[in-house]
Amino acid sequence: MRQQSIKQVIVAGGGTAGWMTAAALAKLLNKDIKVSLVESDDIGTVGVGEATIPPIRTFHKLLGIDEKLFMKATQATFKLGISFENWHKPQSDYIHSFGMTGKECWAGEFHHFWLHAKKMGNKDDFGDYCYELQAAKQGKFGISPHNPINYAFHMDASRYAAFLREFAENLGVKRFEGKIERVNKHADNGFIKSLLLDDGTEITGDFFIDCTGFKGLLIEQALHTGYEDWSHLLPCDSAVAVQTKGTPEIAPYTRSIAHQSGWQWQIPLQNRVGNGLVYCSRYLSDHDATQLLLNNLSSETLTEPKIIKFKTGRRRKGWNKNCLALGLASGFLEPLESTSIHLIMTGIIRFMRLFPFTGITQHAIDEYNKQLQSELESIRDFIVLHYKVTDRDDSEFWQHCKTMETPKSLAHKVALFKETGRVFLDDGDIFRVDSWVQVMLGQGIMPDQYHHVASLMNDQELSRFMQGIKQQIAQRLQQLPTHRAFIEQYCPVDT
């Protein structure tokens, strides 16, 4: 390996991935390294990763980002979960929320008590015992130290990149404008030496971070890292995206609406709505997908529909030699569970924890790649769950999903839950047990058993326990304003 100390880090590509990376490195490692970023104004970004999950708030706290300023700058709204409509079967729906459901004990989570209560005649839905889920259904939101709530954001991804660019440049990040014409490598070991821009500028560095999108100019075209194709597990390969005017009511959740060949997203921002249709081109043409999306919009369009092609999967190495791939350059998992920005964030943090200040070692590379693979495979399994475990068979697409290959890790998790009601997380799982339970129940899996400890309560104790949780949620909900009312007071966008 290369024992040269790392002093100059070059980020290739801007967008969300590039500027998140530059901002984090400059803020947290600024005294030890110099960070530069190369991007071209002529190269657009995909820019549809507009929904997030709660750990982004931790990332912002780490960087010292003011939440209100961030939300104003990105026209952001709050997100309490995702509403999955028509996934289990047509006309069905459930919410995968961010909050904890009920109360857990040493032997297991709350769903065991809910299953026992259900057997004893309780008619309540599992989600009736989750504060965030009920707030989402009622269109309410509020932040208070006395009434905590677990949330993420909907935001304008392009504005987020611009916000982080200003943040990073204020910390000393130097931006180079131009297209990368050639990636130069050291003849002796194949490590990247420099980037040659279209105007003749040569940018040398010790370490390079590839944020060049699907092309992977460094990680793939220069280093030939290889790609592991997951399209046999996640068959959708296309998306069409369009923005529409804002609506009077702003739901504090993302909508994911399944259709005959994929699904449609709806992401409400303060001044507009992000819309898109993810589909499998074997079963739906680009033209028909565009028409289907346009026919299912709730307000007037602001942009022309944009077609995006992708192949689900991952680079065989996220870190190869002196190059790290982040964002779309590292692979693609469709945005069903809003994990795209999260994967950029965890990649940055993992890299900084293993940062090769005094030289690159193979063990550091191997550890990064091992953790990345585990994380990606766990998210992949969670997304496959939505497609595979369904009662839908009303189209060729859904018939294919029901019969397609299932990862062994997912098959085991589903079988364990069906047979015993237990869920155990893998090392790379970013979703908690509550998330797995909400989605598995929502997709129609009802466990055959539950933990015996739940049946140790007598009927009166169980009833008091369950009713106490619901009453507490109802009291907390009364304190909340509507989502729009809170936004207008907390972080209104200047008009």
The rounded percent of the chain whose pLDDT value lies above 90 is 91
Is the pLDDT reported for residue 187 higher than 80? yes
Separation between Cα atoms, residue 491 and residue 76, nearest integer Å: 8
CB 327 within 8 A of CB 260: no
Q: Which helix (H) or strand (E) holds 278?
A: strand 272-279
Q: CATH number of the domain at 8-50+156-230+312-360, please?
A: 3.50.50.60
Catalytic residue ranges: 79
Q: What is the largest CA-CA distance in the chain?
A: 79
- Reduce the DSSP state of residue 469 to 3 states and report it: helix
Show the CA angle centred on residue 74, arms to residues 180 and 26, nearest 5°: 50
Q: How far apart are the first and last CA of the chain?
A: 54
Q: Are strands 254-259 and 81-85 parallel, antiparallel or unpaired?
A: parallel
- Measured CA to CA in angstroms, residue 439 lies from 116, 214, 431 at distances of 19, 29, 11
Least-confidence region, from 46-60, 340-354, 481-495: 46-60
Separation between Cα atoms, residue 213 and residue 47, nearest integer Å: 11
Question: Average pLDDT for residues 478-486, to the nearest whole number?
Answer: 96
Per-residue pLDDT, 422: 95
Do the beta carbons of residue 294 and residue 122 sit within 8 Å? no
Q: pLDDT digits over 430-454, tens only?
A: 999 999 999 999 999 999 999 998 9
3-state secondary structure of 138: coil
What is the per-residue burial (b if ≥16 Cβ within 10 Å, else e) of 90-104?
eebebbbbbbbbbee
CA distance 233 to 331: 14
Residue 32 pLDDT class (50, 70, 90 cuts): confident
Mean of pLDDT values over 168-183: 97
Residue-wise pLDDT for 140-170, tens only, equals: 999 998 999 999 999 999 999 999 999 999 9
Residue type, 415: A
Task: Provide the edge-to-edge strand list for the sheet that holds 313-315.
Answer: 227-229, 313-315, 331-332
Which tokens hold the place of 455?
């049946």
Give the pLDDT score at 414: 98
Q: What average pLDDT does the structure give for the chain?
A: 95
Confidence (pTM): 0.96
Q: In the numeric block, which tokens belong to residue 451?
A: 């933990």
List, in order, residues 6 or more apart from 289 with CB less than 8 Å away: 238, 240, 261, 262, 277, 279
Return the ∠ at Cα 237 (arms to 231 and 278), rounded to 5°.
125
- Would you list the domain boundaries of the chain? 8-50+156-230+312-360, 238-309
What does DSSP assign to residue 130? B
Residue with tokens 């209560």: 117
d(CA 373, CA 12): 23
Q: In what order do the strands lie in the sheet with 319-320?
A: 174-177, 34-39, 8-12, 207-210, 323-325, 319-320
pLDDT at position 42, please? 81
Unique residue bearing structure tokens 């030939």: 224
What confidence score (pLDDT) does residue 45 get?
Answer: 67
Tell which residue, 331, 306, 310, 348, has the closest CA to residue 44: 306
Let me know how long the chain is.
Answer: 495
Tens of pLDDT, residues 247-295 = 889 999 999 999 999 999 999 999 999 999 999 999 999 999 999 999 9
Mean pLDDT on 67-87: 97
Per-residue pLDDT, averaged over 392-402, amounts to 96
d(C-alpha 329, C-alpha 214), whole Å: 5
Residue 107, pLDDT score? 66
Instruction: Tabulate helix, strand, coil % of the chain (nearest 5).
Output: 40, 20, 40
Does 309 have pLDDT greater than 70?
Answer: yes
Q: How far apart are CA 97 and CA 66, in angstroms?
A: 25
Q: Categorize the per-residue pLDDT at 31 as very low, low, confident or very high, splitting at 50, 70 and 90.
A: confident
Query: According to the model, what pLDDT value does residue 43 have?
Result: 74
Pair 207, 10: CB distance under 8 Å:
yes
Closest to 269 measured CA to CA, from 143, 133, 156: 156
Strand partners, 279: 238, 262
Buried b (16+ CB within 10 A) or exposed e, 17-42: bbbbbbbbbbbbbeeebbbbbbbeee
The pairs formed by 363-371 with CB atoms below 8 angstroms and a separation of 24 or more are: 364/319, 365/1, 365/317, 365/319, 365/320, 368/318, 368/319, 368/324, 369/317, 369/318, 369/319, 371/427, 371/428
Residue 300: CB atoms within 10 Å: 7
DSSP-derived 3-state class of residue 366: helix
Cβ-contact 302, 272 below 8 angstroms: yes
